[in-house]
């Protein structure tokens, strides 16, 4: 809660407390006046109530006046009790709010339960009421009301049986801190969801179908509850399959890498990929991963499966080893059809950067290029990593991100026919930025060995790449130069490092 809200509460509380205190200070004046006034009718105040002043004289007041005087006196007593109780309630509410705030700040993982707060507040209210009431009505004994009457005790006891059962079950649940608001709990045969509130009567759980599951504390106390505490690194296991022909080392590396980047998969723990079973058609695998926010585990499980699909698709991993697949396996999965090569040729020849190339060179490049599909949000290249490929966007778009002041910042969005990854590929430097698919994006991947012979025969291409790399570096503020002479020097430097890296003659 922002500090301004606390200030607002403090101001309201102070205004209220001052008004009530003033009224309580002024009260004796009113009482004095009342004493003088009732004295006219032969009454005086004794032990908090109006009595006839001089009984000896045989004075007997009008019963009507007696009733009125006693009503007024009682009314004043009640007002006084109400004012004191109002002051106590305001103080308790403000203080409990302050304590909650401090406790929340000190223990971000949990919240002080509203149940405990309510119970403590009620205890304070009851004690305060006893004291205030007794001060106004010293002759009335309240204690026997609670201890003496067996019949009232039985009646109230029976009526409150369930309520008290819930209260004590709730207190027991709170005492061992099994779960708190915000935790995900699974109640056997009832459902799973996020704890929304814990009260003296029961617990409200928001299920993943957005229904509200309301359970009494007494019923909950008898259930087996599985708790995934908020803020704890909770794990999930997702199953998947791969053909027997796929080596375990390949699958482990591929799947771990694909899942590691998915949103809400914790970076604090490395996902564990392991063989679960040998099935009839395929190897059964499982991946265990940890979540930052367990309340989104269904979405994250789905995202993990999605990422595995994309990784399989890119790398041509087979799921099953069936008869039909035996037939398909007789071709290499990476084979590119003529039709595909033609579309690659068309695309690459339309890019201005490749305009210096002959149609033969374009064809060679197109043959070597591989189409790869990336999921929305998937990292295609990561800053700091080694890079041996560049990518031309076939469809979709990507965001280029760099870290500035410890925050990820998008410096550019690239769309169809733009390219990226050329900096590392051409200079041998680590990736200068992280490139993330903004939507489902298909790219053409061009590797270093495919580009090398082309660069050797096309010095103009080296020049164009050098210019673009220098421009991009300036945008990213790696270098800032307005001076054209300095700019051209830098560009030459980039071109030199490309030539050096590829072992090209001048």
Q: What does residue 277 show for φ and ψ, rounded to 5 degrees?
A: -165, 160
DSSP state of 140: S
Q: Which of 69, 422, 450, 502 binds ligand CMP (CB under 6 A)?
A: 422
475 binds ligand CMP, rule: CB under 6 A:
yes
* Shortest distance in whole angstroms from residue 332 CB to ligand CMP: 28
465 binds ligand CMP, rule: CB under 6 A:
no
Helix, coil or strand: residue 282: coil
- 181, 231 contact by CB (below 8 A): no
Piece of 13-21, 313-321, 430-438, 455-463 that binds ligand CMP (CB under 6 A) = 430-438
Piece of 59-67, 103-111, 237-245, 406-414 that binds ligand CMP (CB under 6 A) = 406-414
Piece of 298-306, 315-323, 332-340, 414-422 that binds ligand CMP (CB under 6 A) = 414-422
Q: Which of 70, 118, 412, 497 binds ligand CMP (CB under 6 A)?
A: 412
Q: Which of 187, 273, 308, 433 binds ligand CMP (CB under 6 A)?
A: 433
Between CA 102 and CA 24 the distance in angstroms is 32
476 binds ligand CMP, rule: CB under 6 A:
yes
* Shortest distance in whole angstroms from residue 394 CB to ligand CMP: 16
Piece of 93-101, 151-159, 291-299, 472-480 that binds ligand CMP (CB under 6 A) = 472-480
Which residue lies nearer to ligand CMP by CB, 174 or 389?
A: 389
* Shortest distance in whole angstroms from residue 418 CB to ligand CMP: 8
Between CA 369 and CA 392 the distance in angstroms is 9
Q: Which of 198, 423, 437, 495 binds ligand CMP (CB under 6 A)?
A: 423
* Shortest distance in whole angstroms from residue 421 CB to ligand CMP: 4
- 198, 139 contact by CB (below 8 A): no
353 binds ligand CMP, rule: CB under 6 A:
no
* Shortest distance in whole angstroms from residue 259 CB to ligand CMP: 22
- The two most distant CA atoms of the chain are separated, in Å, by 134
Which residue lies nearer to ligand CMP by CB, 429 or 442?
A: 429
Radius of gyration for the alpha carbons in the chain, expressed in angstroms and rounded: 39
* Shortest distance in whole angstroms from residue 434 CB to ligand CMP: 7
Which residue lies nearer to ligand CMP by CB, 344 or 472?
A: 472
DSSP state of 429: P
Q: Which of residues 363-402 bind ligand CMP (CB under 6 A)?
A: 381, 387, 400
Between CA 340 and CA 366 the distance in angstroms is 9
Which contiguous run of DSSP H or E holds residue 125? helix 114-136
432 binds ligand CMP, rule: CB under 6 A:
yes
Q: What does residue 203 show for φ and ψ, rounded to 5 degrees?
A: -125, 140
Between CA 70 and CA 225 the distance in angstroms is 59
490 binds ligand CMP, rule: CB under 6 A:
no
- 424, 430 contact by CB (below 8 A): yes
Q: Which of 185, 435, 437, 444 binds ligand CMP (CB under 6 A)?
A: 435
Helix, coil or strand: residue 368: helix
420 binds ligand CMP, rule: CB under 6 A:
yes
Helix, coil or strand: residue 483: coil
Which residue lies nearer to ligand CMP by CB, 229 or 421?
A: 421
* Shortest distance in whole angstroms from residue 180 CB to ligand CMP: 43
Which residue lies nearer to ligand CMP by CB, 394 or 472?
A: 472
* Shortest distance in whole angstroms from residue 415 CB to ligand CMP: 11
Q: Which of 201, 314, 370, 472 binds ligand CMP (CB under 6 A)?
A: 472
* Shortest distance in whole angstroms from residue 414 CB to ligand CMP: 6
- Residues that bind ligand CMP (rule: CB under 6 A) add up to a total of 19
Piece of 103-111, 118-126, 262-270, 470-478 that binds ligand CMP (CB under 6 A) = 470-478
Between CA 12 and CA 479 the distance in angstroms is 56
* Shortest distance in whole angstroms from residue 265 CB to ligand CMP: 23
Plot region of 421 (φ>0 → left; ψ -120 to 50 → alpha; else → beta): left
Count the helices and strands in the chain (H runs, E runs). Answer: 16, 18
Neighbours of 411 (CB within 10 A): 14
Q: Which of 431, 490, 491, 499 binds ligand CMP (CB under 6 A)?
A: 431
Which residue lies nearer to ligand CMP by CB, 232 or 397?
A: 397
**104-126 exposure pattern, b = at least 16 Cβ within 10 A, e = fewer:** eeeeeebbbbebbbebebeebee
Q: Which of 411, 438, 496, 504 binds ligand CMP (CB under 6 A)?
A: 411
Angle CA 6–11–13, to nearest 5: 90
Among all chains, which residue has been given the structure tokens 């295609």?
380
Site string for ligand CMP, 88-127 (x = CB under 6 A): ----------------------------------------
Beta bridge partners of 381: 435
Q: What does residue 185 show for φ and ψ, rounded to 5 degrees?
A: -125, 145
> Could you write out the DSSP letters of every residue in 39-73?
HTTTEEEETTEEEES-TTTT----HHHHHHHHHHH
Which residue lies nearer to ligand CMP by CB, 311 or 435?
A: 435
3-state secondary structure 207-227: ECCCCEEEEEHHHHHCCCEEE
DSSP state of 504: -
Which residues lie near ligand CMP (CB under 6 A)?
Answer: 381, 387, 400, 411-412, 414, 420-425, 431-433, 435, 472, 475-476
């Amino acid at each position: 809660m922002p500090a301004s809200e606390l200030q607002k509460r403090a101001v309201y509380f102070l205004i209220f407390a001052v008004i009530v205190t003033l009224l309580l200070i002024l009260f004796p004046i009113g009482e004095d006046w009342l004493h003088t006034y009732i004295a006219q009718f032969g009454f005086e105040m004794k032990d908090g109530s109006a009595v006839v002043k001089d009984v000896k004289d045989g004075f007997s007041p009008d019963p009507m006046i007696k009733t009125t005087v006693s009503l007024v006196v009682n009314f004043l007593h009640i007002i006084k009790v109400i004012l004191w109780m109002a002051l106590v309630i305001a103080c308790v509410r403000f203080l409990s709010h302050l304590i909650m705030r401090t406790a929340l700040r000190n223990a971000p993982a949990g919240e002080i339960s509203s149940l405990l707060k309510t119970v403590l507040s009620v205890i304070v209210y009851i004690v305060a009421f006893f004291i205030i009431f007794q001060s106004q009505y010293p002759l009335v004994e309240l204690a026997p009301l609670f201890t003496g009457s067996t019949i009232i005790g039985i009646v109230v006891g029976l009526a409150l049986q369930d309520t008290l059962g819930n209260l004590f079950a709730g207190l027991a649940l709170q005492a061992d801190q099994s779960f708190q608001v915000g935790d995900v709990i699974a109640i056997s045969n009832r459902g799973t969801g996020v704890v929304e509130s814990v009260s003296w009567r029961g617990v409200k759980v928001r299920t993943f179908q957005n229904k509200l599951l309301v359970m009494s504390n007494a019923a909950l106390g008898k259930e087996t509850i599985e708790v995934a505490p908020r803020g704890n690194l909770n794990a999930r296991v997702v199953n998947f399959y791969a053909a027997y022909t796929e080596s375990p080392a390949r699958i482990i590396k591929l799947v771990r890498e694909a899942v590691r980047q998915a949103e809400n998969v914790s970076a604090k723990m490395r996902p564990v990929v392991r063989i679960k079973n040998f099935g009839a058609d395929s190897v059964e695998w499982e991946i265990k991963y940890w979540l930052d926010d367990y309340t989104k585990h269904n979405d994250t499980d789905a995202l993990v499966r999605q990422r595995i699909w994309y990784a399989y698709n890119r790398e041509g991993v087979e799921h099953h080893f069936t008869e039909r697949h035996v037939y398909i396996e007789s071709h290499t999965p990476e084979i590119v059809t003529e039709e595909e090569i033609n579309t690659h040729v068309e695309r690459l020849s339309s890019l201005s950067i490749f305009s210096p190339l002959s149609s033969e060179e374009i064809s060679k490049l197109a043959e070597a290029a591989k189409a790869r599909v990336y999921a929305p949000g998937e990292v295609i290249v990561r800053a700091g990593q080694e890079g041996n490929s560049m990518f031309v966007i076939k469809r979709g778009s990507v965001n280029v991100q760099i870290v500035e002041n410890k925050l990820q910042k998008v410096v550019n969005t690239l769309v169809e026919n733009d390219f990226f990854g050329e900096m590392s590929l051409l200079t041998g430097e680590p990736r200068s930025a992280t490139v993330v698919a903004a939507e489902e994006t298909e790219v053409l991947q061009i590797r270093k060995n495919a580009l090398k012979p082309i660069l050797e025969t096309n010095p103009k291409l080296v020049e164009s790449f050098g210019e673009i790399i220098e421009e991009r570096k300036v945008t990213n503020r790696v270098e800032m130069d307005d001076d054209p002479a300095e700019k051209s020097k830098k560009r030459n430097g980039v071109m030199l490092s490309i030539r050096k890296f590829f072992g090209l003659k001048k």
